Amino acid sequence: MVTAGFLSMRVLRALVLLFVLLAVPPALAHKPSDSYLSLEVDDHGIQGQWDIALRDLDYAISLDDDQDGAITWGELRAHHADIAAYALARLELSADGDGCPARVVAQLVDEHTDGSYAVLRFAATCGHVPQVFTGSYRLFFDLDPQHRGLLRLQHAGQTRTAIFSDATPVQQFQLGETTPLRQFLDYMGHGVRHIWGGFDHLLFLLSLLLPAVLIRVDRAWNGAERFRDCFRDVFKVVTAFTLAHSITLSLAVLDVVQPPSRWVESAIAASVIVAALNNLIPLARNSRWLLAFIFGLIHGFGFASVLAGLGLPHAALLSALVAFNVGVELGQLAVVALFLPLAWSVRKRWIYRRGVLAGGSLLVIATASVWLIERAFDLKLLL
């Protein structure tokens, strides 16, 4: 016979596991690594441009020959062949199952908001206009499983987007089948995947939600008595976070405001620390929704970095922006729907207050502190 105590312990283990999975893996600590791949398919083949961060290339194939911490144009030029060979060995393009061999035609340098990038311009010959286009991407996955390749594919005036990751290294497209609904669903899917893979965003939100099933009495946390009060608290936090990041996501994507990426990522890490610290030293006890709103403005810029990297179709700018934001909200609500019933069922057990709330918050603070140091100083303390 299954007892209530046994079920409570299983729920607690699930909550602890959730925080461990989000906070512990060291590979998640450093600043997110992205590359930007643009492909244009026409009757003559594929024209491509691939922007890859110099810091990532330096880590993989050692570009800084004199080890002075700065990669000069001379050092970069000396490694052009190495960069081209390394990158193209990890990208395979095919048309209807037939390979499209690529060759680099030019190498440049460009500045992004998070630093310098090598720019590889290349051409690939397919022999015919494909009906089914396939891309296989394996750049940096062996060194950084959190790396992503942001793909923007253009064909016949239509734009398709995708995100290559360690879990989804192969993407396939039926060219000519893009419809407004398909495009909307594509961007919505990007939003869902981004929030589920955005461990800093999730830890910030969960840190704010942990005390939602508790009440503070005489400087001590106790289990709440009414679910309605907890739901209201969660609703306020989630709504404030949603409203805030929707504002800055829109402003950034529309090029109204574009803060430096390193500043944004560092501030996001700091927001996670503040949210978790508030569980140990409650400064915003009854106004966590205000923390959610203030820091949600910063998280919105983080969401925008992915959407801007994918590129928005000019003909469907508003619908793509709305779709991505809807995807973020759906992914966020799925996490809340999983967390809240679990937390409510064990809210009165001391191990929730001591182990999950206090212990989990300390773990989050430690993890986010590493993020903050790495992002602020562009370091890799842990792999």
Of all residues in the chain, the percent with pLDDT exceeding 90 is 52
pTM summary value? 0.81
Which of helix, strand or coil describes residue 229?
helix
Report the C-alpha gap between 287 and 256 in whole angstroms. 29
pLDDT at 107: 97
Report the C-alpha gap between 318 and 327 in whole angstroms. 14
pLDDT tens digits, 205-254: 999 999 999 998 888 889 999 999 999 999 999 999 999 999 999 998 88
CA-to-CA separations, 162 to 32, 145, 170, 306, 366, in angstroms, rounded: 17, 17, 10, 11, 33
- 75 pLDDT above the threshold of 80: yes
Report the C-alpha gap between 332 and 334 in whole angstroms. 5
- 382 pLDDT above the threshold of 90: no
Report the C-alpha gap between 324 and 302 in whole angstroms. 13
Of 339, 59, 378, the closest CA to residue 213 belongs to 339
Report the C-alpha gap between 96 and 199 in whole angstroms. 36
Residues 6+ apart with CB under 8 A from 125: 45, 46, 100, 101
Report the C-alpha gap between 83 and 56 in whole angstroms. 11
- Average pLDDT value over all residues in the chain: 87
Report the C-alpha gap between 371 and 375 in whole angstroms. 6
